[in-house]
Structure 1
Amino acid sequence: MIDSITAGGKTDAPRGQRVFWATLEGVIAGILLYGGGDAALGALQAGAVATGLPFSLVLVVMCVGLVKSLRQEHRALVLASAT
């Protein structure tokens, strides 16, 4: 996610940039775990849950939109075949 933001919104960021951000995130997580011990692990897990919850809500809204769109398309196909 960070690499696409820094790439100006492009979903296909350059490989070197993706490797850089993945490595940097891993190193930062490792430093936090090494420096903080068990308390840091709890904080890291809480952070992962806190950032994942809003994203899961977005996914639920997207699923509802997909179901509505599929129903609408099905109705249109049924009407088109009836005429």
Structure 2
Amino acid sequence: VMAAIVGWAADRGWDRHPVKLFNAMLVAEIVMMAMGFAWLALLIGPEKSWQFGVVPFIVGDLIKVGLAASLVPAVWSLLKRP
């Protein structure tokens, strides 16, 4: 699902703009977290799944999304040069 969301955004040229790409990647990340939370909530309950399956990963995932959203357009600009 994440690949479909980010791929959809890339097909529309959002991979050339860091802010647009960040937004698309953030939506994909939220969808992935929601799916993981829902599945884990069925297994161990919603309170524990939020505490152990979502919260510990929020900061790291935001950092990764920010880095990726800034690096992808930079790489595209390098590839354009002869």
TM-score by length of 1: 0.36
Larger Rg: 1
TM-score by length of 2: 0.36
